[in-house]
Structure 1
Amino acid sequence: MAGNIVILNGAPRAGKSSIALAMQADLPGHWINLGVDAQNATLPPALLPGIGLRPGGERPDLEPMVQKLFLALYESVAAHARQGFDVVVDVGHHDAYSRPLGILPACARILADFDVLFVGVHCPLETIMARRNGDPDSLYVKGEGVPAPVQRWQDAVHVPGLYDVTLDTSAMSPEDCAAAIGRALAALPRPTARAQLAALTPLS
């Protein structure tokens, strides 16, 4: 029997990693986290920031590799789920590259045979900036107001925003978020991300 798949999609510092840890601690099953941080830890410097490449078309030279890295990640997600593992994927999808790359619908096609819960992890900009500025060791962009790269993430990461579950981490703890995901996984029948995301796939 295939495992569950939960995609956590949101901007950096929205709280996705904390939710993934809470899911591993609180939800039944063996949850494997195959998100952006896990993948980037395996990459050589030449491929960084990998799938964490932020919106704005800053690295057209890296974009073909970003496409391949996303597809490889989702193939790995499918492989783990096929073996019965539950998988949580911590990512920030966007299509604000130097040109549209269509990565999200391509990844959805890879998971077409699985039940998927697609979760939008929202967080107000003021909370995101407080988290960025409050971490002196972080490499995230910091500063007064909202720096342009942070605003671009906020504008791009939830397009088109077709989610099964939406969470606001400024109002919910990681444990609350994990519990909400657990309830959504237990609720049958429920919509699946593959059905929603199929609507994004261009017709040939």
Structure 2
Amino acid sequence: MTRVIVLNGVGSVGKSSLAAAVQALSEGPLLHVAMDSFLEMLPEKLKDHPDWISYVMVDDRVEVQVGPVGARLLDGMLGAVAALADAGCDLIFDAVMDRERVAACRARLQPFDAVFVGLVAPLEVIEAREAQRGDRKIGLARAQHGRVHVGVDDDLTLDMAELTPEAAARVLCERFGL
């Protein structure tokens, strides 16, 4: 049965680094599908547009607001992940999802052997990484931190402040037989 490993966590928690480490360690090939790749498909003029996805500063947080066209993009992203799995591709999907989006993802991936891995770290660690990256809006992680894992029942939770991506990959691969 097709395997789908869903990595869910706040921006800058280490999803992409973990995905690369799992790909290197896994016995079989796993495609890495990243939410960021879908967002990068937008033309520059629409990357902060209320119909698509916009970023609004609220106090010390950058809130992400998804407009009607952005919602279609996110739904299409889940459809693309499901289509790859339906074609028999094992994959790692890395995303930032709240409870509602996780529920939609679970429903779309129900026909497959999907596991949900929550990636966590203390806010100060994530904010330091966010600042070091230089490609993120400062305050985005703070806004996501209090919402991403609320009400979400993951199959495995990994603390990415305590584990290197390689150590986390070993745990994940051992736990799910990759």
Which TM class, normalised by the smaller chain length? 0.7 to 0.9
Which residue number in structure 2 is paired with residue 7 of structure 1?
6
- Contact 1:36-1:52 at 8 Å conserved across structures: no
- Contact 2:63-2:143 at 8 Å conserved across structures: no
Please, what TM-score do these two structures have when normalized by structure 2? 0.83
Which residue number in structure 2 is paired with residue 91 of structure 1?
95
Which residue number in structure 2 is paired with residue 125 of structure 1?
123
Query: Which one-letter code corresponds to 2:129 in the other structure?
Result: R
Do the aligned partners of residues 58 and 166 (structure 1) sit closer, same or farther apart at CA in structure 2, a change above 3 Å counting? closer
**Deviation at residue 57 of structure 1 after TM alignment:** 5.8
Question: For 1:175-199, what per-residue CA distance to the aligned partner results, in whole angstroms no more than 9, with x for missing partners?
Answer: 1111111122229xxxxxxxxxxxx
SS, match of residue 134 in structure 1: helix
Which residue number in structure 2 is paired with residue 28 of structure 1?
27
Residues in 1 aligned to 2:54 and 2:91: alpha-carbon distance in whole angstroms? 19
RMSD value, Cα: 2.6
- Contact 2:54-2:64 at 8 Å conserved across structures: no
**Deviation at residue 160 of structure 1 after TM alignment:** 1.3
Residues in 2 aligned to 1:173 and 1:39: alpha-carbon distance in whole angstroms? 26
**Deviation at residue 41 of structure 1 after TM alignment:** 2.8
Which residue number in structure 1 is paired with residue 147 of structure 2?
156
Do the aligned partners of residues 52 and 39 (structure 1) sit closer, same or farther apart at CA in structure 2, a change above 3 Å counting? farther
Point out the structure with the larger strand share. 2
- Contact 1:51-1:70 at 8 Å conserved across structures: no
Residues in 1 aligned to 2:53 and 2:22: alpha-carbon distance in whole angstroms? 22
Q: Of the candidates 148, 158, 167, which is equivalent to residue 167 of structure 1?
A: 158
Q: How many residues align?
A: 171
Tell me whether 1:139 sits opposite 2:141 in the alignment: no
Percent sequence identity over aligned pairs: 29
Residues in 2 aligned to 1:56 and 1:105: alpha-carbon distance in whole angstroms? 24
